Structure 1
C-alpha cells in the first residue's frame, strides 16, 4: 500500500494506492499555511491513519510538491505559496514526527504530472516530451529518455519565466502573458470587472461566441503558442502536452493550433500538441509511480 500527497497552495489532495495502482481511497484537506509544524502535522495525521487502515502495510509515501525541490535530499528549496517551508527538508520534518520510517519521494508538481502521462497517459508511447501547465502561472516539465530533467539547481522546466515580448511588455514573463491568470486579467479588463470578482478560465471559454471575448482568448492563445514554439525549437521533443483545467477545452487546444500555424517556422519543427490525459489526479499518479519505483528498486 502506498500513500501519496499532491500539495497545493489551497488544498492537499491525498490518495491511497495498492500495488497495481488502484486507488483505494482519495480525499483532500485545507493546506495548513500557519507554520511548518501545522503543515507537517496535517500530513502525519493522514499517514498514521493510512497505516492503520492498511493494517501496518503502508510501504511508502510520495509527495507532489510546488516550487523547486531537491529530489535527492528532500529539501523544499522554494515551496511556492508554502512560504513557511522555504528551505525546509520535508523528509527530515516528517521523520521527526512519525513513529516509524517509510521510504519517501518528493518531486515538483509539474514533473509529477509529466510522469503520470509518461507511465500511463498521452506520453506512454514516447520517450522525449514536454509538458506545459496553464494555471495561476506557467508550469513546465521536460522528459528525455523517459527521465525528468532537473538541472543542477532543480529549476529545469521554468518555461513561464521566458521573456518573449520585450518591446511591448518589457520584462514581463510568460507567467504574466500566457497563464490562465493572465487570460482572466485580460477578460476582466475587457468586461470592466473588479479584480475582486472571481472568474474561472472555463467560464471565459464558455463565452467564445461573444466576438470580444474570442478576441481576448485569441490574443492569449498567441502567447501560449509562443510558449509551445520556443519549447519545441529548444528541445525538439516528440510531443508537447498541455495541462491545467483550461486545457480540457477542445476549443482552446484548437486555438493554440491555429496560432502555431500562423508561425511560418512551425512547419519545420511541428510536433503533436495535445491536452493531457490526467488532470486533477496527475500529481497523485506521478507521486505513486515514483514511490512504487523506489520501493521496487530497494527490494530487488
Structure 2
C-alpha cells in the first residue's frame, strides 16, 4: 500500500504566511512566518527554509495567494497587496530553491470554495458561490463540479460589481459591503476613532437601535451582492466566508434583507456560512493540488 502524499500548503497574506503539512487528508498544526515583502527572491528563500526544516520529504507545495492567478502557467498576474509577486512564474522560479518538488498556486478566494467542497458546507454541492467578507469582498464560483476561473483568471471577482450607481457612481461592492465600510459608517456616525471600532463588537450591540440601523444598512448592500450573484449563476447555495461570518446574526439578517427584495421569491436560494474560517486557505490549497496535480 502506497504511503499517503505529504503536501506542504501555504496561505500567503499581506503580513503573515501560514503553513502546514497535509498527510493524506489530515493537516498538521499550522505555523506562521512573517511575509517577506522586499522581493520575490526573499519570499522564495523563506519558503525554501520552511521546506528544508521538514523532518520528512515533501511530495508537493500548494499556495493560496491573493490576486489573478494563471494556473495554466502557475504564475501570478497580480497578487493583491503583495507587489513583489506581481507577474512572477512562481512555480518555475521557486524550483531553483526547492528543485524536484511540484508546485501549484491558486487564488485565495477560490481556495475558500475548494475548502468547502473538500470537507465543509459544500461537500454535496456541484454549483455554489462563495462571498468572503473582509477588508474587501472576495468571491469564488464553483460550477458544474469545478472551480470557474475565467478566460483571464478573473472569474468570481464579486466585489467589483457596481451596486449603487445613482448614489456612488462606479464604486464597487468593496466600498459598501466590506468590513472597513461598516466600521467607517459607525465611526463617522458616532465621531469615534476607527481604531476603537471592530465589526464584531457592533454585532454584539444589535439591541441598540442606532447600532442596529448601521449594521442593517450595511447588510442591505451585502444582500444586493448576493442577489446579483444568484440571478446570474443560479447556484444551489451561497456561502458567506470571512471572520465576520462567525457572527450568528449575520446570515439571519442577510436573509431578512433579501426578503425585502420583491424579486427574491423567484430566486430564493439557501444562504449559509462557510464551515472553514481561519484554515480555509490551507485546506483549499491542498484540495487544489490534489485535484489539479495529483489527479485525485
Fold in common (TM above 0.5): yes
Separation in 1, partners of 2:154, 2:187: 32
Q: TM-score when scaled to structure 2?
A: 0.95
Separation in 1, partners of 2:161, 2:191: 29
Q: Tell me if the contact between 1:65 and 1:108 (Cα under 8 Å) persists in the aligned partners.
A: yes
Separation in 2, partners of 1:207, 1:65: 34
- Give the alignment of 1:54-203 within 5 angstroms: 54=56, 56=57, 58-98=58-98, 100-195=99-194, 197=195, 199-203=197-201
Partner residue in 2 for 1:29: 33
Q: TM-score when scaled to structure 1?
A: 0.94
- Unmatched 5+ stretches in structure 2: 1-5
Which of 9, 13, 17 aligns to 1:12? It is 17
Report how many aligned residue pairs link the two structures: 291
Q: For 1:297, what is the secondary structure of its paired residue?
A: coil
Separation in 2, partners of 1:72, 1:198: 44
CA shift digits 1:132-174 (9 cap, x unpaired): 0000100000011220111111000011111111111111110
Separation in 2, partners of 1:295, 1:262: 45
Separation in 2, partners of 1:146, 1:28: 32
CA distance change for structure 1 residues 131 and 167 in 2, over 3 Å: closer, same or farther? same
Q: Tell me if the contact between 2:104 and 2:293 (Cα under 8 Å) persists in the aligned partners.
A: no
Q: Tell me if the contact between 1:118 and 1:146 (Cα under 8 Å) persists in the aligned partners.
A: no
Instruction: Give the stretch that moved more between structures: 221-230 or 163-172.
Output: 163-172
Separation in 1, partners of 2:119, 2:201: 30
1:101 offset after TM fit, Å? 1.4
Separation in 2, partners of 1:95, 1:228: 40
Separation in 1, partners of 2:184, 2:147: 32
CA shift digits 1:37-66 (9 cap, x unpaired): 22221111111112xx11x2x111110010
Separation in 2, partners of 1:30, 1:206: 32
- Unmatched 5+ stretches in structure 1: none
Separation in 2, partners of 1:26, 1:68: 25
CA shift digits 1:52-104 (9 cap, x unpaired): x11x2x11111001011101112110110100111111112211222x21111
Separation in 1, partners of 2:87, 2:215: 38
Name the Cα RMSD after superposition: 1.3
Partner residue in 1 for 2:291: 293
Separation in 2, partners of 1:70, 1:229: 28
CA distance change for structure 1 residues 294 and 48 in 2, over 3 Å: closer, same or farther? farther
Moved over 4 A (4+): none
Separation in 2, partners of 1:146, 1:85: 30
Separation in 1, partners of 2:190, 2:38: 36
Separation in 2, partners of 1:24, 1:151: 32
